[in-house]
Amino acid sequence: MLAALVYEPGGPLVVEEVEDPKPGDGEVRVRIEACGIGLTVVHYSGASTLATIAGTELPRIPGHEFVGVVDQLGAGADPRWLGRRVFAYFHLTCGVCRRCLGAEEQLCESHGGVIGAARDGGYAEFAVIPERNALELPDGIDAVSATTIADAIATPVHAARLAAISPGERVAVVGAGGGVGIHMVQVAGLLGADVVGLDIVPAKLDYLERELGIPGVDARDFDAARLPSGWRDQLDVVVDLVGASDGYEWAVRTLDSNGRLVCLTAHTDAVAGIPSRDLVPRQLTVLGSKYTSRSEAATAAALVAQGRIRPIVTSRVGLGDIESVHDELRAGSLIGRAALVFPR
């Protein structure tokens, strides 16, 4: 099969022909139709990250948001999977610890890393995954749209639940034009919140307003950021996808009583510090949100199937053009998600 591989941490992708994978015990093989391309893949392929992910061996095929048809089964795998369209749940988990049994698989006590880093992922024509990592794709969702479900949409579903976003609350999403942010604003709006999107790229702000009807706020200078009139320059929830100190400081200044700051990036060293003089009188809460559970991924798929969340994929490429998309992601210019597509 053809695949794009990383041979060294932080190194370029190399497209080459490799041996077709074979499923082992309890595994299924997926003939891939499309795979999402987002900033998480760039982080996973980076020098500092690859060195710390459990089970990482190089070369590695990246890509964790893939969709396709199960075409082979390993010993013991349920035969009902054969021929089904699935999307991958990318956390490698034990399935038996208290976290897994409590539908918090992303916090598995024996977490084995993620597909695309700890084992080969979806930048290839085929991928082999544990049976429990295959989630059935509802009818009527095209492959490219489906690449957004497992992470770009399910992650906001999880974050919104943790933050307990309620109807009428004022919500700001920092980094709203990226792959997760552009779906986070939709999930918050679906819950009845009033939402604004902050970003530093004019084209992203324009897209939010023109395509989604979400007011855009220029975040190049947080001191100059202006919220809609009537909000009293206060917020109930800030969902931060950037992880910069000035953004955290702005959130602390802007949150109203009982306000929640939700942090969704672990790739920076910025500190979301809140002095006790701010934390206690206003009852502020800081939350870390780690990706999503299998049940939340299934919920995300249902929301797409019902037409309640619109997947945003603005670029489709083949294997030879993935690096150009990675460059856009590093530059922060890509609106929403991109997808690697395999012609069939």
Which pLDDT score is estimated for 43?
Answer: 74
Q: Note if the bond before 59 is cis, omega within 30 degrees.
A: yes
* Domain chopping of the chain, boundaries: 2-148+311-341, 156-288
d(CA 253, CA 61): 43
Q: Which fold has domain 2-148+311-341?
A: Quinone Oxidoreductase; Chain A, domain 1 (3.90.180)
Q: Are 241 and 188 in contact (CB under 8 A)?
A: no
Residues pairing with 315 in the sheet: 338
Inter-CA distances, 244 with 172, 183, 251, 264, 272, Å: 15, 20, 11, 11, 9
End-to-end CA distance of the chain: 14
Per-residue pLDDT 10s for the chain (344 aa) are 999 999 987 788 999 999 999 999 999 999 999 999 988 788 766 644 554 455 568 899 999 999 999 999 999 999 999 999 999 999 999 999 999 999 999 999 999 999 999 999 999 999 999 999 999 999 999 999 999 999 999 999 999 999 999 999 999 999 999 999 999 999 999 999 999 999 999 999 999 999 999 999 999 999 999 999 999 999 999 999 999 999 999 999 999 999 999 999 877 777 777 888 889 999 999 999 999 999 999 999 999 999 999 999 999 999 999 999 999 999 999 999 999 999 87
d(CA 279, CA 257): 9
d(CA 339, CA 321): 11
pTM value is 0.94
DSSP-assigned letters across all residues of 17-57: E-PPP---TTEEEEEEEEEEE-HHHHHHTSHHHHTTSTT--
Q: Are 141 and 303 in contact (CB under 8 A)?
A: no
Angle at 21 (CA atoms; ends 20, 27), nearest 5 degrees: 150
Q: Are 74 and 27 in contact (CB under 8 A)?
A: yes
Q: Are 212 and 185 in contact (CB under 8 A)?
A: yes
C-beta atoms surrounding 51 within 10 Å: 10
Q: Where are the alpha helices (DSSP H) in the chain?
A: 39-44, 47-50, 98-101, 143-146, 154-163, 181-190, 202-212, 245-254, 276-282, 294-305, 322-331
User: Into which CATH architecture does domain 156-288 fall?
Assistant: 3-Layer(aba) Sandwich (3.40)
